[in-house]
């Protein structure tokens, strides 16, 4: 086999509950991940060394060296297999970079699937999940797709049954937000408030709305503990969220650490209406529609 192409979806967090700051600097999280139909494509081709090229959405902000998460995934897989495999990776990005939609994690997951195939390793999903957990807390979900609750740092996953398809609008912002800086701002805001931070828990009404496929109920339950911090660092996002609500979105929130904003719509047609209104309001660099849940990485 000379090359393998894998298509991999972005994620949005339907609930992101951030627990108290732990002594090791991390937070316990409850993370309801939902994969949506916004895809990167990773092509792995046989080569002796390791290399990566990136094209598409904000490609100039993605490293083309060993820092690239897809290359790190390929290196980790070769190490796991105990052989000096090589690969040339070509990434076509559509997922916003540093946008809170786990694009780098998606590329890492896609590289694991593509190299497993290219190198004929035949490793089961469980093995890839272990490697994924070492690469980053969002990578295991990126391998799984669908909708799932993540606990711990996000790496312990329980898939969820979802009773329908949800329709989304995503407002992309200029430039990214650093996930580390957003967590640090969240800690600062909480320290200044001086309130006790509860242990994170999945919200039962949100899980019930997912099971029922009830978009209206889900819209009311969307929640992101990082949102105040993302808004503090990027105040213009408040107007973006407000514009979506004003134009009839069932729910609006910052996706993960932002700055992408996500809006839930009642149907595919309604999503197009909300998207058109957001474009007209001039509150985003670009506005896209998508649906979820969608399956994880797939060879195309
Ligand atoms: P998350 O939602 O998991 O917090 P994010 O969507 O905010 O992540 P990413 O797009 O994953 O952010 O990128 C975060 C940083 O990782 C970027 O600043 C980028 O330079 C770096 N990076 C490394 N490899 C990649 C990759 N393959 N795609 C995108 N970014 C990458």
Q: What is the per-residue pLDDT for 152?
A: 85
Q: What is the per-residue pLDDT for 26?
A: 87
Q: Which CATH number fits domain 3-160: 3.30.360.10, 3.30.230.10, 2.60.40.10, 1.25.40.420?
A: 3.30.230.10
Number of helices and strands (H, E) in the chain?
Answer: 10, 12
Cβ atoms of 270 and 216 closer than 8 Å: no
pLDDT by residue (tens digit) across 65-78? 999 999 999 999 99
Q: Could you tell me if the ipTM is greater than 0.85?
A: yes
Nearest CA to ligand 1 atom 25: 104
Residues annotated as part of the active site: 11, 138
Number of Cβ within 10 Å of residue 155's Cβ equals 21
Sequence-distant (6+) residues with CB within 8 A of 204 are none
Structure tokens of 13? Answer: 């967090």
Cα→Cα distances 268→6, 10, 169, 273, 275, Å: 26, 18, 10, 9, 11
Transcribe 201-251 into DSSP letters: ---HHHHHHHHHT-HHHHHHH-EETTHHHHHHH-TTHHHHHHHHHHTT-SE
Angle in degrees, CA 69, 42, 125, rounded to 5? 75
**Could you give the CA distance from residue 15 to residue 22 in angstroms, rounded to a whole number?**
20
The domain locations on the chain are 3-160, 166-292
pLDDT category at 81 given cuts 50, 70, 90 is very high
Say yes or no to pLDDT of 282 above 80: yes
Give the number of C-alpha atoms closer than 13 A to the C-alpha of residue 228, restricted to the C-beta side: 11
Read off the pTM.
Answer: 0.96
pLDDT category at 285 given cuts 50, 70, 90 is very high
pLDDT by residue (tens digit) across 222-263? 999 999 999 999 999 999 999 999 999 999 999 999 999 999
CA of 136, closest atom in ligand 1? 3
pLDDT by residue (tens digit) across 82-91? 999 999 999 9
Cα→Cα distances 117→19, 130, 216, 298, Å: 38, 17, 41, 11
- With the most atoms of ligand 1 within 8 angstroms of its CB, the residue from 18, 39, 103 to mutate is 103
Q: What is the per-residue pLDDT for 234?
A: 97
CATH architecture type of domain 166-292: 2-Layer Sandwich (3.30)
Report the separation in Å between the CA atom of 61 and the middle of ligand 1, taken as the mean of its atom positions: 9
Q: Write out the H or E segment, with its range, that includes residue 268.
A: helix 268-281
Nearest CA to ligand 1 atom 31: 104
CA of 96, closest atom in ligand 1? 10
Cβ atoms of 147 and 33 closer than 8 Å: yes
């Amino acid at each position: 086999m000379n090359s393998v192409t894998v298509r991999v979806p972005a994620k949005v967090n339907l609930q992101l509950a951030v627990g108290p700051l732990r002594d090791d600097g991390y937070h316990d999280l409850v993370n309801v991940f939902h994969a949506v139909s916004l895809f990167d494509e990773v092509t792995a081709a046989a080569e002796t060394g390791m290399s990566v090229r990136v094209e598409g959405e904000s490609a100039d902000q993605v490293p083309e060296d060993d820092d690239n998460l897809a290359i790190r995934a390929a290196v980790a897989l070769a190490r796991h297999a105990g052989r000096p495999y090589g690969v040339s990776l070509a990434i076509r990005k559509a997922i916003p970079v540093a946008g809170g939609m786990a694009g780098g994690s998606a590329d890492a997951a896609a590289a694991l699937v593509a190299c497993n195939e290219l190198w004929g390793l035949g490793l089961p999903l469980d093995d890839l999940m272990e490697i994924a957990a070492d690469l980053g807390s969002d990578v295991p979900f990126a391998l799984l797709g669908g909708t799932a609750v993540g606990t711990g740092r996000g790496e312990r996953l329980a898939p969820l049954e979802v009773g329908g398809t949800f329709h989304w609008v995503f407002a992309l912002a200029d430039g990214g937000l650093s996930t580390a800086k957003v967590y640090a701002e969240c800690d600062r805001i909480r320290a200044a408030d001086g309130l006790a931070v509860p242990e994170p828990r999945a919200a039962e009404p949100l899980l019930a709305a997912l099971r029922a496929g009830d978009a209206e109920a889900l819209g009311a339950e969307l929640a992101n503990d990082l949102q105040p911090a993302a808004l503090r660092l990027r105040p213009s996002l408040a107007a973006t969220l407000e514009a979506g609500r004003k134009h009839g979105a069932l729910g609006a929130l910052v996706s993960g650490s932002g700055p992408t904003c996500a809006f839930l719509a009642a149907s595919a047609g309604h999503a197009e209406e909300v998207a058109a209104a957001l474009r007209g309001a001039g509150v985003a660099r670009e506005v896209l529609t998508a649906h979820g849940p969608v399956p994880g990485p797939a060879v195309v």
